[in-house]
Amino acid sequence: MKKAVFSFLALLLAVITLYGFYFKPNTMMIHHGWARSAPPNSPMAGYFELHNHSDQDYHLVGASSDDFATVMVHRSYEESGVAKMSHVDEVAIQQGENLDFAPGGFHLMLMKRNRDFEIGDKTSVVLRFKNGSEMHTDLEVKAMDGKKHNHSDH
Ligand SMILES: [Cu+2]
């Protein structure tokens, strides 16, 4: 009987250890979220920095926001001097690595907004990862920069 209790305790300890091993607290971090303002019927691009401080690789597989009907992960690139962008199914952030979503590269395409935005407003987005975790972050709307050099508003 004593042996059975001991076996049970050993098993319990093993389960707790395995649980702690596989379900470490989520230590992916998201910094400096912002979105580039765009005319009301145009998509906005969302940017942020991902810092993978966890002990596993992360794969971003999707995103959503209550403020937009559709949010997609895109990557901008240049082909024969032409700026293009394509949908990305999965973005890997290796353990210990940082990955910037920034103009000219990876971004969230925030489409079909269901509210108005002023500069300085925030929109909350949810990032979904392959391991099942979800993370919220706020993107602050910032002005479009350098599109046109307009002196009339000086
Ligand atoms: Cu895009």
Identity of the residue numbered 2: K
Identity of the residue numbered 146: G
The domain segmentation of the chain, as residue ranges, is 28-142
- Residue 153: its pLDDT value, please? 45
If DSSP codes are grouped into helix, strand and coil, which group holds residue 80?
coil
113 CA to centre of ligand 1 in angstroms:
15
Mean pLDDT on 4-30? 73
- Residue 4: its pLDDT value, please? 78
What are 110's strand-pairing partners? 44, 71
- Residue 18: its pLDDT value, please? 67
What are 75's strand-pairing partners? 86, 106
Place of tokens 């305790």: 9
**pTM attached to this predicted model:** 0.76
Instruction: Assign domain 28-142 to its CATH superfamily.
Output: PCu(A)C copper chaperone (2.60.40.1890)
Q: Is the pLDDT of residue 23 over 80?
A: no
Strands 44-52 and 28-36: antiparallel
Query: To 10 degrees, the CA torsion angle through 22, 56, 134, 91?
Result: -150
Give the model confidence (pLDDT) of 34-93 as tens digits.
999 999 899 999 999 999 999 899 999 999 999 999 999 999 999 999 999 999 999 999
97 CA to centre of ligand 1 in angstroms:
23
Q: Is the pLDDT of residue 147 over 60?
A: no
Give the model confidence (pLDDT) of 90-121 as tens digits.
999 999 999 999 999 999 999 999 999 999 99
From the list 90, 136, 108, 88, the residue with the least C-alpha distance to 47 is 108
150 CA to centre of ligand 1 in angstroms:
25
Phi, psi values for residue 3, rounded to 5°: -65, -40
55 CA to centre of ligand 1 in angstroms:
30
Identity of the residue numbered 10: A
- Residue 3: its pLDDT value, please? 75
CB burial of residue 38 (10 Å; 0-12, 13-18, 19+): middle
- Residue 9: its pLDDT value, please? 81
Give residue 151's pLDDT band: very low, low, confident or very high (50, 70, 90). Answer: very low
